[in-house]
């Protein structure tokens, strides 16, 4: 668990179940307005991680891939919302207007974006960026990079909760 710089964390997951558990731990820490960006190749574990985030956040329905509808809105029992976006089918950031990206960003809800690299130039400067990479058939590398005070703190809280290290 090397710490590259404040706000960064490098993790190896050894199974899909562990990737989902890591997502659940992060989901418990998310607050309204948080923007979490997932990037990486096809099959790297973005949707598995997202499903864990939804479970940890407390979504009333399981998060599944929004590839065909592009945006899924999830709720918690307290009425809070989480928007799960999949930008795989977008050719460029301009096409994000078609899914109401500005309204979602302005809503103050949690945003979880798969294939975020496709719309990176229109995302807020402050965000949590998670790069997922395939190492082997069951092993994944997750590199968390929090930009801005809120997200540096989020990575620190996640590290403490996951590894017991402050």
Q: What average pLDDT does range 137-153 have in this prediction? A: 96
8 Å CB contact between 37 and 49? no
Locus of tokens 């078609």: 98
Q: Taking residues 67-73, what's their average pLDDT?
A: 80
* 69 Cβ contact partners less than 8 Å away, ≥ 6 residues apart: none
Two tokens, residue 73: 């809105």
| pLDDT tens digits, 28-48 | 999 999 999 999 999 999 999
Alpha helices in the chain (DSSP H): 16-29, 46-57, 101-106, 149-163
Question: Residue written as tokens 């500005």?
Answer: 102
pTM, two decimals, is 0.93
């Amino acid at each position: 668990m090397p710490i590259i710089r404040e706000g960064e964390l490098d993790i190896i997951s050894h199974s899909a179940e562990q990737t989902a558990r890591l997502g659940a731990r992060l989901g418990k820490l998310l607050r309204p307005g948080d923007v979490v960006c997932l990037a990486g190749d096809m099959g790297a574990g973005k949707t598995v991680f997202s499903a864990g985030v939804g479970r940890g956040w407390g979504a009333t329905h399981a998060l599944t891939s929004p590839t065909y509808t592009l945006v899924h809105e999830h709720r918690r029992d307290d009425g809070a919302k989480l928007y799960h976006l999949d930008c795989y089918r977008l050719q460029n950031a301009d096409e994000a207007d078609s899914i109401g990206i500005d309204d979602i960003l302005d809503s103050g809800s949690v945003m979880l974006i798969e294939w975020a690299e496709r719309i990176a130039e229109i995302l807020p400067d402050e965000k949590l960026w998670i790069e997922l990479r395939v190492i082997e058939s069951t092993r994944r590398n997750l590199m968390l990079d929090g930009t801005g005070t809120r997200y540096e703190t989020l990575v620190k809280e996640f590290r403490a909760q996951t590894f017991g290290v402050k």
